[in-house]
Structure 1
């Protein structure tokens, strides 16, 4: 190591490295932030043992705040520079070198406005981290950790610097730290934020936003710690984090940090939860919860596929099948059985035979339903040109009584509908048809004896509730000889009811 002469007297507060240019021979184009808000370019060549370039590029905040973080995100098409102060977050975008990029901004009359601005003390700890491989950033500010994603909008169309920041939000510090001790530094691992305080190191899960571990850095529990904590830094090559103090450098041991991520993702992202499972039992728990969620959302086809994957004691095969029967979704039941049949091993022949037989029955029922639907659609479409008598005889000869009733209803042939309902013993439905306001009284009288004989109580109630109420005596008369009808208390109520009159 050696002192850089051109940095003498400069309060360097942040450094951004150009990962594409750093080598064993030099730093490449390095961006330096100062305590006066200036951005400087430095290029150190170790072969020549000197700084080849050191020039002022731009100033942010009119020198009111120090630059606390600098990161460069580069690709062949663009250069995106992230610059942070304790209270402001800037994005600079260019297509070529650092000098040309900032020259374009320096030529503007007005200062570049920040993309994000937060309240805070200019003297508070602040830094910014960018994970280029994941396209994410995290900014330590006084209100908390501001995090988000770096977007990639096209430069060929209209854009602003704000378009390069997406899905950003503020994650406040843990409640116990607010208004008291504030973080000194921030570390960002794959799944956690590390917050360094003077007395402790706190790990917060990035997904759940909960504190998962707290390591004391003071008192008897901090044995082995040398010096007072100052900050966190990462060895990018080995992905190892270190804590540096006033006297030493301590490695932070991070082991199996993805151990419980499957359980955390289970609350919102099942695909990620499965991808983070380590055991078959964990995967089965994810699939079970995913299947239950799909069933609760009435996405029965997806639930069928998911339940079919399960190989757990609960819920049982019979329980799952019964649930699809109860909700009346034969297609989902068919999908569940088919998937299960494909998953059966050769030694499960008896169960496979049972499921295959059930599937055959469902297939036949599906064919029957499809043909019935086609027939009913045909009758509905061509009812005006069909001869009602001929068509009714055809349907009756083939035993299609439901379709015959469907045709009668389409033609408003209430007499045929009532006759078939009576034949099938559906007296209540027949009475429902007779209660229509458009039903002629002669049709009521025609079926009255048979209705009284089959269901006297329901028939009398229907007459009483009719408007106007039907007479109780005339329906019992028929042309020719009177018919003998069983007399009961229920049938006599109609004769004695104060609203009924003899005609």
Structure 2
């Protein structure tokens, strides 16, 4: 039986483990990833060692994780595959030939659904393994190709890979279509087409977007990004990328003063927060290069492809990573390069000389910096399972989980500072947070002269009533004041009787003043030249009457009878006076009036 547990350093075995085998439900993900409410005192990130309760006969040489499936490749050519929900059921798989014949496994590529695994060795031998198979099949057409990256089909098919892109160490980009077959002599790849060569190094990353009419492919090398945008073939036409990569001229972002070092491209094509609307979701990418991490929104780049697609992306310079310390506690004179990165919903995880460092990609702030690996513990890299929102660090002998707790807790503050009020409102969770956003949003709208919009926002905030009212009065914005009072009345508690009566009475006064103003405007314009337009005002009058009638009907219980009669009478509004009397069923008043 295979049992995996994760415990932070120094935790006793008797303590609650955030990753442990539960006999009733298998492998339980970290509690912080599944709870609906979080303890704000817990850190956003916490790296915890996974205890592997099975013998490791040899070093890990490659790893991958997706859709709660974890794949480990050993130096002996063995592949261990297990579902984290049922870790006792392990698939122990051997490649068809020994490492002495085909080389050691160097890379694993697992699609987001964990249906398709591509295995690449040091001698350019490549194999395919389907999730329902225990027999890796050689990819004969890809023999000799050192695979560096794969862009899986965005539709995430499970029976076959459909059309995928493969980036190689020699700069070539291929399209292929892998379909599992039970026939011994049939090749797994339906075809292999060479589409493009980047000329100056390996293709360290590929990302595709086929969701719109404009197909797009983002290609990364250690020194540049290439963005292809155009029309590709249909997904049922047998090949979809040649038309795009062979005919379109890419927009290129070159890295100035590039130096040798680790490089990769990672992306999140699905929003980690499923509660967000489609318009709020991002297709985020991050490109590790010698200068830092260049990151942005892939979809936004595509939309501005004809102008300056890379201008909206930002470079997170390597200088934001604090220097490592010597054994004596002093800062090292130079910053070690980042060897691996992973994207979470709002942060970029860096692996720097045994440290896991988390930088908020929205504002560049340092959120976490922890030394995890002892000297000599060679890392394989950071990995992300974006379907399950779990994040991992693999070394040659150990596995760690980067446990994430309430990652979005401070996002509302960042959005608020950036005056992104709609986004800030989405991420604000507590009443105090929502109120802070509403108040700041209202202040911003007032500063822009958008008083009507500010009125609604202020009405749902706790900004002092008198302060808001005076703001609209001083600006002569009676319509905005009326809108603010209506909104405030709609949210006041029923138990706040005196406040509700006061606000309702003030609204009656404002309605009467507005109706008289409209009557006077119509009369005045009628006496002027015939060219004076009065149509709009004539339309406003019945509209305002209807608004008043709706107000009286809805809030009649908040209107003091005597005060309301006096207010309406003082403005000489007979029609409104009789309407109010009818609404409150004061038929004696109606009869006596006539």
Structures share a fold, TM > 0.5? yes
How far apart are the structure 1 equivalents of 2:428 and 2:284? Answer: 24
Match of 2:99 in 1: none
How far apart are the structure 2 equivalents of 1:167 and 1:16? Answer: 24
How far apart are the structure 1 equivalents of 2:423 and 2:377? Answer: 41
Q: After superposition, where does 1:126-275 map in structure 2 within 5 Å?
A: 126-133=263-270, 134-151=282-299, 165=309, 168-177=312-321, 180-217=335-372, 227-267=377-417, 268-275=419-426
Contact 2:458 2:468 in 1 (8 A): yes
Q: State the 1:258 CA deviation.
A: 0.8
Contact 2:291 2:318 in 1 (8 A): no
Contact 2:348 2:361 in 1 (8 A): yes
How far apart are the structure 2 equivalents of 1:148 and 1:65? Answer: 23
After superposition, the C-alpha distances for 1:275-314 in whole angstroms (9 at most, x for unaligned) are 112211211111122222223333322222222212x3xx
365 and 21 in structure 1: CA distance in 2 versus 1, 3 angstrom threshold = closer
User: Match of 1:250, SS?
Assistant: strand
Q: After superposition, where does 1:267-286 map in structure 2 within 5 Å?
A: 267=417, 268-286=419-437
How many residue pairs were aligned?
Answer: 367
Q: State the 1:185 CA deviation.
A: 1.7
How far apart are the structure 2 equivalents of 1:99 and 1:263? Answer: 48
* More off after superposition, 184-193 vs 209-218: 209-218
99 and 248 in structure 1: CA distance in 2 versus 1, 3 angstrom threshold = farther
Q: State the 1:319 CA deviation.
A: 3.3
**204, 208, 219: which is aligned to 1:72?**
208
Q: State the 1:56 CA deviation.
A: 5.1
How far apart are the structure 2 equivalents of 1:374 and 1:126? Answer: 71
57 and 163 in structure 1: CA distance in 2 versus 1, 3 angstrom threshold = farther
Q: State the 1:65 CA deviation.
A: 0.6
**Structure 2 gap ranges (5+):** 1-78, 80-94, 97-126, 128-137, 271-281, 323-333, 531-594
Instruction: Please tell me whether Structure 1 or Structure 2 has the larger radius of gyration of its CA atoms.
Output: 1
Contact 2:224 2:254 in 1 (8 A): yes
User: Match of 1:253, SS?
Assistant: strand
Match of 1:35 in 2: 169
Q: After superposition, where does 1:328-367 map in structure 2 within 5 Å?
A: 328-367=476-515
After superposition, the C-alpha distances for 1:96-148 in whole angstroms (9 at most, x for unaligned) are 4698455447867xx95553222254742221223223333322222332233
Higher relative contact order (CA 8 A, sep 6+): 2
- Work out whether 1:12 is the aligned partner of 2:147: yes
Using the size of structure 1 for normalisation, the TM-score is 0.62
Q: State the 1:162 CA deviation.
A: 5.5
Contact 1:149 1:167 in 2 (8 A): no
Contact 1:91 1:162 in 2 (8 A): no
Contact 2:218 2:225 in 1 (8 A): yes
- Work out whether 1:52 is the aligned partner of 2:207: no
How far apart are the structure 2 equivalents of 1:369 and 1:161? Answer: 52
Structure in which a larger fraction of residues adopt strand = 2
Match of 1:85 in 2: 221
User: Match of 2:480, SS?
Assistant: helix
Q: State the 1:204 CA deviation.
A: 1.7
How far apart are the structure 2 equivalents of 1:51 and 1:196? Answer: 39
Contact 1:33 1:39 in 2 (8 A): yes
Q: State the 1:375 CA deviation.
A: 4.4
Aligned-residue CA RMSD in angstroms? 3.7
Match of 2:5 in 1: none
User: Match of 1:256, SS?
Assistant: coil
Match of 2:449 in 1: 298
Contact 2:233 2:241 in 1 (8 A): no
